[in-house]
């Protein structure tokens, strides 16, 4: 089979812009494995892993036999008495599950600006969810409100998140929300330089849940 490994980087960037890097990586690794097996998965990881550390981590987990876990129940348990929840970042699989698990919570999504996609289409996949920006997300603040973000690997003291999270949970905001939840999609931190991500202290989160 003809495989254009070089062009997969551009394809991944497009997919990640609307699905999230972790979601896109799991979808890509499934297709690549089906098409060319572990050898092709390794080849693509070698070619694009440094540019996309989340892809690198997901491909490594796939090669180790791990498959994506999409269970929103632990996060939903933390959010059951909330009125409003702002999700910083977008990972389609996990967000879809969260929307289904929290029918009575008003949800806002603050998409990442790192890989801009078609936000209108992104939001039309999330009926009932409001898109918010860094200028408007505090409309969701309150004693029964929370901020949640996707975590791309965490160690004993730190966690890797999207840059928007740093602003969203700044000192001026922390008093306005009840809890700050991290949803760790990757387990341990990435093996390569965490491009696109930022390292924050783990104790920024009131709760850190593994996917």
Partner 1 sequence: MNGHQLATALVLLLALVAQAVLPRLRLLVVTTAAVATIIASSLVGHVSAGVLFSQVPWDVLVIVVVLGLFSEFLAESRAFGVVALWAAKRSGARARPLVLTFVVAMYLVSGVVNNLTALLLVLPVLLNLLKLLGTSQRYLTWTLGAVLVACNLGGAATPVGDFPAILLLGRGSMTFSDYLVRAAPQTMVALAVFLGVVLVLVRPEKGLSESPLNARLALATMSAFHRNVRVDRGLLVPGVLALAGMVAGWLVLPAAWVGPEVIAWAGAVALWWARPALAELLLRKRVDVEAALFLLCLFILVGAVRAAGTFEVAGRALEALPMSPRGQVVVFLVSAAVLTGLFSAGPGMAALLDVAERLAAKHPPAAIYVGLALSVCAGSSLFLTAATAGPLTQALTERAGLKVDGATGRFGFFDFAPVGVLGFSVILAVGLGFVMVAL
Q: What are the residues binding partner 1 (CB under 8 A)?
A: 1-4, 6-8, 10-11, 13-15, 18-19, 23-24, 27-28, 31-32, 34-36, 40, 92, 96, 118, 121, 124-127
**Beta carbon of residue 11, minimum distance to partner 1 (angstroms, whole number):** 5
Reduced to 3 DSSP states, what percent helix, strand and coil does the chain have, rounded to the nearest 5? 45, 20, 35
Nearer to partner 1, 92 or 154 (CB): 92
What are residue 161's phi and psi, to 5 degrees? -135, 175
**Beta carbon of residue 98, minimum distance to partner 1 (angstroms, whole number):** 13
**Beta carbon of residue 71, minimum distance to partner 1 (angstroms, whole number):** 19
**Beta carbon of residue 9, minimum distance to partner 1 (angstroms, whole number):** 8
Give the SS3 label for residue 173. Answer: helix
Q: What is the CA radius of gyration of the chain?
A: 17
Please give the full DSSP string across 90-148, using - where no structure is assigned. --HHHHHHHHHH-TTSEEEEE--SSS---HHHHHHTSTTPEE--TTTGGGG-EEEEEEE
Nearer to partner 1, 8 or 146 (CB): 8
**Beta carbon of residue 169, minimum distance to partner 1 (angstroms, whole number):** 28
185: its two tokens = 């999609």
Nearer to partner 1, 23 or 181 (CB): 23
CA distance 141 to 8: 40
Nearer to partner 1, 3 or 198 (CB): 3
CA distance 198 to 158: 10
Q: Between vectors from CA 200 to CA 190 and to CA 140, what angle results, nearest 5°?
A: 115
- The CA-based diameter of the chain, rounded to the nearest angstrom, is 57
Nearer to partner 1, 13 or 202 (CB): 13
Nearer to partner 1, 124 or 157 (CB): 124
**Beta carbon of residue 55, minimum distance to partner 1 (angstroms, whole number):** 12
């Amino acid at each position: 089979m003809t495989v254009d490994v070089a062009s997969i980087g551009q394809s991944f960037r497009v997919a990640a812009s609307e699905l999230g890097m972790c979601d896109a990586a799991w979808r890509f690794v499934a297709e690549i494995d089906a098409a060319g097996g572990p050898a092709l998965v390794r080849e693509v990881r070698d070619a694009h892993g440094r540019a996309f550390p989340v892809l690198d981590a997901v491909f490594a987990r796939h090669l180790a036999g791990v498959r994506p876990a999409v269970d929103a129940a632990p996060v939903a348990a933390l959010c059951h008495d909330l009125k409003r929840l702002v999700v910083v970042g977008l990972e389609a699989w996990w967000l879809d599950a969260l929307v289904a698990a929290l029918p009575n919570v008003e949800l806002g999504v603050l998409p990442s600006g790192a890989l801009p996609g078609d936000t209108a289409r992104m939001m039309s996949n999330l009926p009932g969810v409001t898109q918010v920006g860094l200028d408007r997300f505090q409309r969701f603040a309150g004693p029964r409100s929370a901020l949640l973000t996707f975590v791309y690997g965490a160690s004993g003291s730190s966690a890797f998140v999207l840059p928007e999270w740093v602003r969203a949970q700044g000192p001026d905001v922390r008093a306005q929300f009840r809890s700050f939840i991290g949803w760790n999609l990757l387990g341990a931190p990435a093996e390569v330089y965490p491009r696109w991500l930022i390292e924050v202290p783990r104790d920024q989160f009131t709760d850190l849940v593994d996917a």
